[in-house]
Amino acid sequence: MDHFHYRDGELFAEDVPLARVAVEVGTPTYVYSAATLRMHLHKIQKAFAPLRARVCFAVKCCSNIAVLRTLVREGAGLDVVSGGEIHRARLAGADPSSVVFAGVGKTDAEIREALAWSRDATAGVADGPEPAHGVIFNIESEPEYMAIAAIARAMGVRARAALRVNPGVKAGGHDYISTGAAENKFGVSPAHARAMLARFGNDPHLRLSGVHVHIGSSILDTAPYVETVRRTLEIIDQAKNDGVVIDTLDLGGGFGADYQTGDAPAAAEYARVITPLLQERADKGLRIILEPGRAIAANAGVLLTRVLFVKVEGAKKFVVCDAGMHTLIRPSLYDAFHFIWPASVSPQHEPVRRAERPDLPGLEVCDVVGPVCESGDFLAKERALPAVARGDLLTVYSAGAYGAAMSSRYNSHPLPAEVMVDGANFEVIRRRETYDDLVAMER
Ligand SMILES: Cc1ncc(COP(=O)(O)O)c(C=O)c1O
């Protein structure tokens, strides 16, 4: 599952004791394991190798360029959703031909950036009738198609595009991260997709020759993928009848992660149901793309936080930490579960499984809360933990995805530091912000 483990009661990331990181870098700090990032990427790449699928890591979930660089070096493409993420992808050394550009609201400037990057990277590359070396635009609506086509024409470049279809499949761990149902803002209906593919599928400037779906996140069941692939293949077949060859199928992300031990299916489980549906088409040249984020990054990162106070009021015990909703918003926003445990424990309290109610002696129930002035500022509620005291170090597990990337400066807390561990070494990959950083853009 990951490379965070106890040795004689001390938590290590690979070969680095986390207490050392906390002393040298301070808290709150996100710590990533390079070995875990690579492990999860490799598992997905291997599981979908028979389809020759390209795995494009969803930058939004963990966008630090050192994380992206680690994955790009291992053959990952990237899924970006903004000009800022394109900038990160470039800094991480990604090739534009391995990048998909999604997002429901692309600005003209962002579209130009993606087109210019593709053009510059492919200068002198002969790509025949197709601009095979550029970013793939994942297009969410007809007006967006029109805007990108007009900009491409004005710049004198050709581009590739896939149409995001909303297949009408509801899936995902929370309403806010379910995207494939008809009422969501994403993509176009299958009927609209047929009309758009027929109209723009052979456009010389912006050939709409791909189909993209992304039905949600934290999908712990493989069945919604089967239904989605079936519905998508119907659209591909209809397009063929209309004279349009679809060459790319992007299945989006959404694979689950183990927030508790054993939560999520393995990559091989998803592949077991998806591969047979696509094998023949992939063998005939259909390019398959996946956009996993959480399944690669969630368990590759933890959040280290220091206990500021232990406060007891009546029957209630609060463990007040220096990390809160500003550092990790998932518990407040989605009611998400993160396993939390002290970084230093007695041998009897080394957790065997990560679970909401660990079966260990001598635990005390508490709320783990942050310093922010909101009752919604918590990391865990009614959680059983070994007794902790002021100054202790807590580890919030599975925080690598949608953790640092969603952190904020609310209550004027500087953004946390980020650290990458690789074997026995660690490196600060984002320094902690200072008070001067906090106000640097103000006057
Ligand atoms: C279009 C798209 N692709 C991929 C992802 C990544 O999802 P996950 O992290 O669940 O794999 C998202 C998440 O929001 C998304 O919107």
For the stretch 153-181, pLDDT in tens is 999 999 999 999 999 887 766 666 566 56
Do residues 169 and 104 both lie within one domain?
yes
* Per-residue confidence (pLDDT) for residue 268, from 0 to 100: 98
Residue-wise pLDDT for 89-138, tens only, equals: 999 999 999 999 999 999 999 999 999 999 988 765 655 445 567 899 99
> Residue 43: inside a domain, yes or no?
no
Report the residue count for the chain. Answer: 443
> Residue 369: inside a domain, yes or no?
yes
Do residues 387 and 310 both lie within one domain?
yes
Do residues 80 and 189 both lie within one domain?
yes
**CATH number for the domain including 165?**
3.20.20.10
Tell how far the Cα of 154 is from the centroid of ligand 1, in angstroms: 31
Is the shortest distance between the CB of 61 and ligand 1 below 6 Å?
Answer: yes
Residues taking part in catalysis:
373
DSSP states along 223-292? HHHHHHHHHHHHHHHHHHHTT----EEE----B---SSTT-S--HHHHHHHHHHHHHHHHHTT-EEEE--
Rounded to whole angstroms, the Cα distance separating 333 from 176 reads 9
**Positions of the chain with pLDDT lower than 50, given as ranges:** 128-129
Q: What domain range includes position 426?
A: 4-31+298-439
Q: First-to-last CA distance in the chain?
A: 47
Do residues 27 and 112 both lie within one domain?
no
Is the shortest distance between the CB of 217 and ligand 1 below 6 Å?
Answer: yes
> Residue 110: inside a domain, yes or no?
yes
Do residues 250 and 112 both lie within one domain?
yes
Do residues 132 and 245 both lie within one domain?
yes
> Residue 271: inside a domain, yes or no?
no
Q: Which residue from 41, 55, 67, 79 has its CB within 8 A of the most atoms of ligand 1, so it is best to mutate? A: 79
Is the shortest distance between the CB of 172 and ligand 1 below 6 Å?
Answer: no
Secondary element (H or E) of residue 30: strand 29-33
If one counts every other C-beta atom within 10 angstroms of the C-beta of residue 26, the result is 14
Do residues 196 and 329 both lie within one domain?
no
Number of folded domains that form the chain: 2
Do residues 18 and 72 both lie within one domain?
no
Do residues 229 and 332 both lie within one domain?
no
pTM score, whole prediction: 0.96
* Per-residue confidence (pLDDT) for residue 325, from 0 to 100: 98
**CATH number for the domain including 358?**
2.40.37.10
Q: Which residue from 40, 62, 214 has its CB within 8 A of the most atoms of ligand 1, so it is best to mutate? A: 214
> Residue 381: inside a domain, yes or no?
yes
* Per-residue confidence (pLDDT) for residue 129, from 0 to 100: 42
Residue partners of 241: CB distance under 8 A and separation at least 6: none
Do residues 105 and 232 both lie within one domain?
yes
> Residue 226: inside a domain, yes or no?
yes
> Residue 336: inside a domain, yes or no?
yes
Cα 60-440-80 angle, rounded to 5 deg: 15
Do residues 89 and 193 both lie within one domain?
yes
Is the shortest distance between the CB of 291 and ligand 1 below 6 Å?
Answer: yes
> Residue 302: inside a domain, yes or no?
yes
